[in-house]
Structure 1
Amino acid sequence: METITFNDIFQSNILERMTSISIMDSLIGLIAAFLIGLFIYMIYKKTFSGVLYSHTFNISLIIMAMATSLIIMGISSNVLLSLGMVGALSIVRFRTPIKDPMDIVYLFWAIIAGLLCGIGFILLAAIGSILIGIVLIIFVNKMKIENPYLLIIKYQDRSIENSLEHIVSKHVRKHTLKSKSVMPGNQFELTYEVRAPEAEMSFINQISTLEGVNSAVMISYDGNFSA
C-alpha cells in the first residue's frame, strides 16, 4: 500500500494553482462587489419601511456580495473544488427568521451581484443593480403612501360606536374591522385596519375628543399583527 509523505504533499500543485489566479482580476472583482454592495446598502437604508432598522443586516449585504464573489473566483479555476463547495454550501441554513419578504429580495440581490462580479460580469452586475435600485425606490416609496395602519380605539360607552364608524369611513379610503374586545369594567376596544394618506390622519384627533373615548392610537401595520 502506497503511503503519502510530507514531501509528497509539499510537491503538490498547490503553488501552481495559486500562481494561476490573477491577483489583479481578483482585486477588481472584490472592489466591484464592494461598491455594488455599498450601493445595495444605501438603497436598503433609503427604502426601509419596517419597524426596527437593522444596521448589522444592512452591513451583512455588503459582506455577502464580497464573500460570494470570493467563493466564485476560488471555485471557477477548479472543478473538484467547485463540487465540494456546492456540497458545503448546501448545508448552510439561515437561523435568523426573516419576516419581511423585501429582506429576502436584498439577500438574493447581494448574492447575485457577488456571483456576477466573481465571474467577471462586472458591467452586467452594475447595470442590473442600478435598474433594480431605481425600481425599488419608485415602487417601495409608492407602497409607503398606501401602507395600512391599525387604528385602536378604547372607549366606555357603546352608544358612540356608530359615531366612530361614521368618522372612520368619512376620512379613510378603506377600512376593515379587525377585532372588537369587551373587557371588565365596561371597557371596549375596537381595532380597524385603515388605509389613508399620512396627510389625512388628523381625524384621530376628532376621535379622541369624543365623550367616552379613553384613547385612540394609530400604528403602522406590516401584516404581522400581535396583541
Structure 2
Amino acid sequence: MNNLGFQDIIKKSVLKLANFSDLSMINILIGLSITLLVSLFIFYIYKITFEGVVYSHSFNTSLVLLSLITSLVIMTISSNIVLSLGMVGALSIVRFRAAIKDPKDIVFMFWAIATGIASGAGIYTVSVGGSLFIGMVLIVMSSKKFQHSTYLLIIKYEDRVKESILPILNKLQYVLKSKTVSNQKIELTLELKRVGENTSFVETLSSIEGVDSAILVKYNGDYAE
C-alpha cells in the first residue's frame, strides 16, 4: 500500500502539468454545452418564479455566464492540485460588492455555481438531475397554492371618520405596523395577510368622505418595520 505524503502529491501534480493537453476540444464543448442547457433552465426558472418588485434581466443573464465560467474553471483545475491552489489564491483577492436584496437571488447564484462545478467535473447526471429536481421544487413552492402574499395598506383619514373605517378593517386580517397622528388626521400602516385577488375594500375605503387616501402595496421585505 502506497502512503503518499502531501509533498509527494504536490510533486506528482507538477509532473502531470502536461496532462492538460489530453482534454480534447470535443470534451470541452460537450461540457460547456450541457452547462449552457442547464443554465438556460435556471434562467427560465428564475424568470417564472420571480416575485420581487423589478425583474432584472441582467442578473438572470449573469447566472448563465456564471455557470459557464465556473465550468471552465473546474475543467482547468480538476486534474492538477498545483493549479487548484493557485486558483484559490487568485480568487481570494476578488471582492464582490453587488447588493443582493432578495435572499432567493443568492440561492440561484449558488445553484448556478453548483451546476458549473458538476458539469465542469464531468458529473452530468448530478448537474442535470439535480437541476431538474430543484426546478420542480421551486415551481411547486412558488405556485399560488403555497403563496401567502403580504400587503401593506396605508390609510390617511380624518379622526372624525374613524367609526366608519373600523368595521371595514375588522373584516381583514391585519397587523398594525405604524400609526401617525397630526392635526386631527391619522395615518395607519397595516400589514395584511393573504388578501387574495379581491381588493375592492380599497375602493370602499377611498369612497368614504374624510379619507384622504388608501394605498395597497405588496410587501416584499424592502420596507422598514
Q: Please state which band the TM-score falls in when normalised by the shorter chain.
A: 0.7 to 0.9
Change (3 A) 1:93 1:142: farther
User: Is contact 2:159–2:185 with CA below 8 Å preserved after alignment?
Assistant: no
Residue 45 of structure 1: how far off its partner (Å): 0.4
Please give the residue correspondences for 1:113-192 in structure 2 after superposition, counting only pairs within 5 Å: 113-142=115-144, 145-155=147-157, 157-170=158-171, 172=172, 174-183=173-182, 185-192=183-190
Q: Distance in 2 between matches of 1:93 and 1:162?
A: 56
Please give the residue correspondences for 1:52-91 in structure 2 after superposition, counting only pairs within 5 Å: 52-91=54-93
| TM-score, normalised relative to structure 2 | 0.87
Question: What CA RMSD, in Å, does the superposition of the two structures yield over aligned residues?
Answer: 2.2
User: Is contact 2:175–2:191 with CA below 8 Å preserved after alignment?
Assistant: yes
Residue in structure 1 matched with residue 211 of structure 2 by the alignment: 213
Residue in structure 1 matched with residue 43 of structure 2 by the alignment: 41
- Which amino acid in structure 2 is aligned with residue 178 of structure 1? K
User: Is contact 1:43–1:137 with CA below 8 Å preserved after alignment?
Assistant: yes
| CA deviations over 1:70-95 (Å, ceiling 9, x no partner) | 00000012210001111222333321
User: Is contact 1:65–1:113 with CA below 8 Å preserved after alignment?
Assistant: yes
- Which amino acid in structure 2 is aligned with residue 103 of structure 1? D
Residue 108 of structure 1: how far off its partner (Å): 0.5
1:198 corresponds to 2:199: no
| CA deviations over 1:136-155 (Å, ceiling 9, x no partner) | 01112348841110001111
| CA deviations over 1:44-79 (Å, ceiling 9, x no partner) | 000001001111000000000111100000001221
User: Is contact 2:150–2:195 with CA below 8 Å preserved after alignment?
Assistant: no
Residue in structure 2 matched with residue 26 of structure 1 by the alignment: 28
User: Is contact 1:145–1:198 with CA below 8 Å preserved after alignment?
Assistant: no
User: Is contact 1:41–1:59 with CA below 8 Å preserved after alignment?
Assistant: yes
Where structure 1 has 5 or more consecutive residues not aligned to the other structure, the ranges are 1-12
Residue 188 of structure 1: how far off its partner (Å): 2.3
Q: Distance in 2 between matches of 1:72 and 1:15?
A: 15
User: Is contact 1:151–1:219 with CA below 8 Å preserved after alignment?
Assistant: yes
- Residue identity (%): 47
Where structure 2 has 5 or more consecutive residues not aligned to the other structure, the ranges are 1-14
Q: Distance in 2 between matches of 1:144 and 1:94?
A: 34
User: Is contact 1:207–1:216 with CA below 8 Å preserved after alignment?
Assistant: yes
Residue 182 of structure 1: how far off its partner (Å): 2.4
Q: Distance in 2 between matches of 1:165 and 1:32?
A: 59
Residue in structure 1 matched with residue 107 of structure 2 by the alignment: 105
* Residue-pair matches, total: 212
Residue 200 of structure 1: how far off its partner (Å): 2.0
Q: Distance in 1 between matches of 2:201 and 2:147?
A: 17
Residue 23 of structure 1: how far off its partner (Å): 1.5
Superposed structure 1 runs of 4+ greater than 3 Å apart: 13-18, 142-145
Residue in structure 2 matched with residue 224 of structure 1 by the alignment: 222
| TM-score, normalised relative to structure 1 | 0.86
| CA deviations over 1:198-219 (Å, ceiling 9, x no partner) | 3221111111111100111101
User: Is contact 1:145–1:197 with CA below 8 Å preserved after alignment?
Assistant: no
Residue in structure 2 matched with residue 6 of structure 1 by the alignment: none
Q: Distance in 1 between matches of 2:42 and 2:163?
A: 48
Q: Distance in 2 between matches of 1:222 and 1:92?
A: 31
Q: Distance in 1 between matches of 2:202 and 2:81?
A: 64
- Which amino acid in structure 2 is aligned with residue 83 of structure 1? L
